[in-house]
Each structure stands twice: as C-alpha cells, then as structure tokens.
Chain A
Amino acid sequence: MDSMIKETNENLKTIIDTMKSTLDSSIETLDNIQMQMDKKVEEAKKYKLQVDDAKEKIKSLEEDNKSLEDSLKELNEKYSKMNLLSVIDAGNKEIKSKININLNEIAKLKSHIADLTNKARTIKDLLINLKKDKTAKEERVENISTCYTYYSEKIEEIIEYANNHTDNLIDYKNEILNNNIDTYDYNQEIENTMVFDEIANIDDKDDFKDEMSNIDTTINNINEDNKDIVNNNDDSIDDYDIGDFNFDSFKNEIDKDNDTELTEDDNSKIDENNNTISDINKDVNKENVFNNSKDLNTNNIFDNNIDKNNEFTDSLKIDNLNNDESINSLKEDNLSINNEPVNNLNTFDSKYEPVDNLKDNLNTFNSTKEDDYFKPSNISLEPINNFNDNEEEQRLSKIDDLFSTINNDNNTDNNSKDNTNIENKIDNVYNDVFGQSINEPFKKDPTLTDIFGNPIKEDNLNKTNTDTSIEEFFTRNGIDFKKFKEDEQNYLKQIYNEEKFQKIIDVLNKNMINLDNVYQACNIFGEIESEDLDNIISKLVNVGQSIETIGLILEKIPRIKKYDLDGAINSFGEYIKDTDITELIMKSKYLSNGGNI
C-alpha cells in the first residue's frame, strides 16, 4: 500500500510540477514579450529624439539659408549701384555655395527623418503584434494560474491525506458514506412543494381579496349569461322533435297518468324519487357539464312542497330534458347536426349515467318506449365528422367497438361467455391496429412510420447515422476521419455525399496522390467536382509536376480553373517543364482574379 500511495503521490506531484513549469514558462514568455515591447518603445523614443534633432537642424539650416539669401540680395543691391560686378559675382558664388551646402544637408536630414519614420512604423506594427501576443499570453497565464492554484491545493490535500492514512486509507470510503448519511436532512422541505405554501400565503396579501372579488364578479356574469342561454334552450327544447320522440306528447302522457289520484304510497314514492333526482341533480351540478343545472334546480318542484303532481311533471320534464346534459348531445347526435369533436365523446359516459339512474326511478310511474332513447346502446356513439374515411379514425373506432363489445358481453352473457372469446376479440382488434397478434413478442425492429402511418424512407433514417456512416466511409477508403480537425469534421459531415466523396477519392487513387494529403485538403470534397479535379491533376502531371508536389498543393486546386491553368501553361511555353508548381498556380490565380490570391 505504501509503495502504491508513494507512486500515486509522485504521479500527482508530477501533474502539479508540469503545471507549474508550464505556468513559469508562460510567465517567462510573457515577460520576454513585455521586455521586447519595452525595448521597442525605447527604440522608438530614440528615433523620435533623432527626428526632433533633425527637424531642429533643418530649421536652423533653413534660417541660415534665409539670412544668406537676404545677404545676397543686399550685396546685389549695394554693389550693383557701384558697378562692381566682379565683387558681386564672387559674393554670389560664395553665398550660393553655402546655401547649396545647407540645402544638401537639409535633404540628408529629411532622408534621415524618412528612414527613422519608416523604422518607427515598423516598430509600431511590431508593437501591435506584440500587444496581441501579450494579450493572448496573459489570458493563457491567467487560465494556467487558476488551474494551478486549484489543482495544486486539491492535489496537495489528497497527497497529505494519503500520506497520513497509509494504513487505513480504506476508512476514507466509509467516512464518505457516513458523511453522506449524516448530512442528509430528512426534515428538509421538498423544494417543488413550496408553491403550495406560497399559494396559502397569497390571501394575506391586500390585493388578493380584490383579485378574488373580480374573479367572483366575472363568474357571476358568466352564470347570468349561461342562465339566458339555458332558458332559451328550454323554450326551444319544449317544442323540439327528436326523431320519433315528441316531448309534448311525452308531457301529455305523463300529465294523463298524473290525472289519476295518487295514493299515499305513490306520494311517498314520488318523494323518494324526488330525493333521488335531487341527489342526481347535485351530482350533475358538481360535474357542471352544462353549467346551467344550478339555475334549473331553483325551478325544481321537488324542493318546494307545492302541488307535487303537476309540478312534478314539469320538473320531470326539466330534469329529464335539461338537467341532463346528454339531452342536447342526444338531440344533436340523432339529428346529425353537430360535428362534435371526438374528444367530447369521452365525457359521454358521465353524461348518460345520471339519465340512466333517473330513468330507473321513473319506471315507477311510467315506462315508455321513449325511455329507450336514454339507453346508451341506442345513442349513436359515432360522431358525424369528416374523419370517418380516415384510416386512423377507423382504428380508433375499432378500439371503441372492442370495448363496447366487451361491455355488452359482460352485461348480457356474464356467466356464459368465457374469457377466451374476449381474448380473441381483443387479439383481432390489436392485430388490426398494430399489425400483429397480442400474443406475439413486440418486434424489436419495427418498420418506422410517420404520423400518417407511412413508412419512413431509409434515407431519412440514415441522416441520423451520418456520423457513423461518414466514419465508416473514410475508414473503408483508408482514411482516418478522426485525423481531420474538429471543425473540418463538422464541415465534412455537413456536405457528406457518399457518391461524390467516393468519386473524389477515386480520382486521387487513380492519380496515385497520397491520401494523407486529404487531412490538409478536406475542401476538395466540397469545393470541386471530381471531373474537374481529375482534369486539373492530369494537366499538372502532363506538364511534369510530380504527384508528390501536386499532393502538397491539393487544397489549392479548387481555387484554380481549368482554362486559367491552360492559359498559365501556355504562357510558360517551352519552359513549362522547368517551372515550379508555385509559379504555375500563381499564374493561374493571376489569370483567374487579376493577381489577387
């Protein structure tokens, strides 16, 4: 264990040392750059001083010349009157020679200034580059320094711990486990549930009550609106014929029956039924399917003890016709006037249930054929819509049929039907929907389909496997895809076309170009057609360029055009055999874009 720990610690120290040396060398490089910059700045300052000196000298020489010119002028004016031409001539020569000497000196100084200025410009460019370099190096030093600080500290801790626990390093594992157990707070609030506390505290806020009162007002308004709608519906429903079912005749029949005097038993039964219906009404109100049940309850005769017989019929009608939301759907479904969305049918079970219960209770008074309309089996489940022709819709209806069949089977022949029959039916429908028996194991490689059930083309599936296929493609052709730089790999993935790529590689193989060149010339897969590549390589080979040389400029080939290369070849004439490929390509480039690379 000791040796293991020592070895591991040595390795860890090596990591720190490596980082330290990297940091030191980076700092050293940075210092060098700074020194170079300082040196160059000093140099530039010297140049500046020299330029200033030269300017001063020029200024004094120019002033000197000016005074000489004035002297010359004065000389001419003074001695010309005396007619002393020889003196004037000698003086002119002397002064002019001095002026010329000064002018030469000025020219030299100006040239020197120009040189110094050029040098200063070079230094400026150099300083800009050094500054960039310095910034990059500073960033690197900062990063290395951060890493070094962190890792050295942490690794030191690890090393120290390992050194101090050479005999019982295994305890660390237990310690960690214990720490984990100890630190777990069982009383900790589950974060996501905090929202409930927040909600609970909301009503403490002042604006909450205002907000709630606003909501109440809005709800009341909505209820008022619904009341109106329901009342309107009542009026229209009263005289509404649904197929063979006439509500007026239904009412008359009930009235007729109620003309006979009711016994006490009958009354008690009525009370019982009233209670039951009231309960049902409450349930319906809870479900709030129609939103108008509550309002209708206010008219319920059974809640008021007045003239039970007459009012019962009204309430019966109302309850039957309005309280139960299925009435509307019943009407609409039977008349086929409503294209109700399929989803709404999901509530159908809850719709007809209360009606069914109500009907059972009403059997005490009268059982009419019309009651059969309330049976779910007689209510059309199929929505009238445009999806009937749709295959998907058929599948759904098959599933619905399956369950209705099962329900019917269970209701009618509960004891006689065996489970095998049901299983077969399930299996048939399952087979219709999923294309295989329920007893078969699910296919591991099913045919993938789109949302319309059409099989997805293999090309589309292959797109997700581009990475694998491109790697395989290059491997197959003796090229390691991973040797490309990351950005080049992405580029190749984007433009990947196996057929085109294969043609390019075939051209390279045909011309015996070393495929290692491809790692520096991935652009040939996207920027040139295989025919053009072949053509240009053939031309270069024909004019004496070796395949090795061509390989070294492979990535430049997409930048030249066949006819420009022809032009370049022709321009060299008989010397083409001795022409370097660099000259040839540059000439082609020159012809291609006016000499700009």
Chain B
Amino acid sequence: MEYLFDLGFTLEEVNKIKNNYDKKDIEKVEFFNRLVKNNYEHLKSYGIKNIKECFINHLKMFLYNPDKFRSIFNKYDRADLVRCIEKNDAVLEKL
C-alpha cells in the first residue's frame, strides 16, 4: 500500500481503507498496484476534487481492467460527470 502515499493519501486514509475492506481486496490493491494506479490517475485526470473519497469508498472499481474502467466514464459528458461525482461519489456505482 506504500504507493498510495505517492498518490497523496495520508496514513489515516490508508488505514481507513484497510479497515473498510476485507483482506482479499486489500491484497489485490497491493498486488496490482500498477493497474490500480493507472485507473486512479485516469480518474484524477478528469479533475475530480473528491477523488480520494471515490477511491476509499469505491475501491473495487479501481481493480477493473483499465479499458473497462475508462469505458465507464467515457460514455458521459465529462463536466457533467465530474459535477455529479463531486456532489455524491456514490454515483460511481450507478454508472
């Protein structure tokens, strides 16, 4: 999980992730670090302000294949998508 610090997460946030998810999910996030990082960077490139909350609350989405992950967001108007996500990150699960 060290790489999460490079992505700007604090120790508290990392611990929150560890506490909120089961061991298998955490192992996946650790194991597929490059893939997770790739997806995170992609979503971050949209300029979403609450990107960390999105990651903490919807971690499993970031384990999708990168092409699948991108295709989820490419369907929508970018500005509208960002607005909705910033308003409520739970919208990620509905996309």
Chain A residues proximal to chain B, CB less than 8 Å:
36, 122, 125-126, 129-130, 133, 520, 545-546, 548-549, 552-553, 555-556, 580-582, 585-586, 597
Given A552-B34, A552-B38, A553-B35, decide whether A580 and B11 contact each other with a Cβ distance below 8 A.
Answer: no
Nearest to B24 among chain A residues (CB) is A586
- CB-CB < 8 A to A597: which residues of B? 27, 30-31
Which of B19, B63, B67 meets A546, CB within 8 Å?
Answer: B67
Which of B11, B12, B67 meets A548, CB within 8 Å?
Answer: B67
Nearest to A126 among chain B residues (CB) is B15
Max chain B Cβ within 10 angstroms of own Cβ: one of A549, A555, A582, A586 = A582
In the complex, how many angstroms separate the beta carbon of A188 from the nearest chain B beta carbon?
Answer: 56
Given A126-B11, A126-B15, A133-B11, decide whether A556 and B65 contact each other with a Cβ distance below 8 A.
Answer: no
| A582→B15 contact, CB < 8 A | no
Which of B11, B19, B24, B66 meets A549, CB within 8 Å?
Answer: B66
B46 contacts chain A at the CB level, 8 A cutoff: no
Nearest to A589 among chain B residues (CB) is B31
Nearest to B64 among chain A residues (CB) is A580
| A582→B11 contact, CB < 8 A | no
| A520→B35 contact, CB < 8 A | no
Given A520-B34, A549-B35, decide whether A582 and B28 contact each other with a Cβ distance below 8 A.
Answer: yes
- CB-CB < 8 A to B9: which residues of A? none
User: A133 CA to B35 CA in the complex, in Å?
Assistant: 27
14 contacts between A and B (CB under 8 A): A125-B15, A133-B11, A520-B34, A548-B66, A549-B35, A552-B35, A552-B38, A580-B63, A580-B65, A581-B65, A582-B63, A585-B31, A586-B31, A597-B31
- CB-CB < 8 A to A129: which residues of B? 11, 15
- CB-CB < 8 A to B38: which residues of A? 552
| B65→A122 contact, CB < 8 A | no
Which of B11, B32, B34, B65 meets A130, CB within 8 Å?
Answer: B11
B44 contacts chain A at the CB level, 8 A cutoff: no
- CB-CB < 8 A to B24: which residues of A? 586
Q: Which of B1-53 contact A (CB under 8 A)?
A: 11-12, 15, 19, 24, 27-28, 30-32, 34-35, 38
B68 contacts chain A at the CB level, 8 A cutoff: yes
User: A36 CA to B15 CA in the complex, in Å?
Assistant: 14
- CB-CB < 8 A to A580: which residues of B? 63-65, 68
| A581→B28 contact, CB < 8 A | no
In the complex, how many angstroms separate the beta carbon of A571 from the nearest chain B beta carbon?
Answer: 16
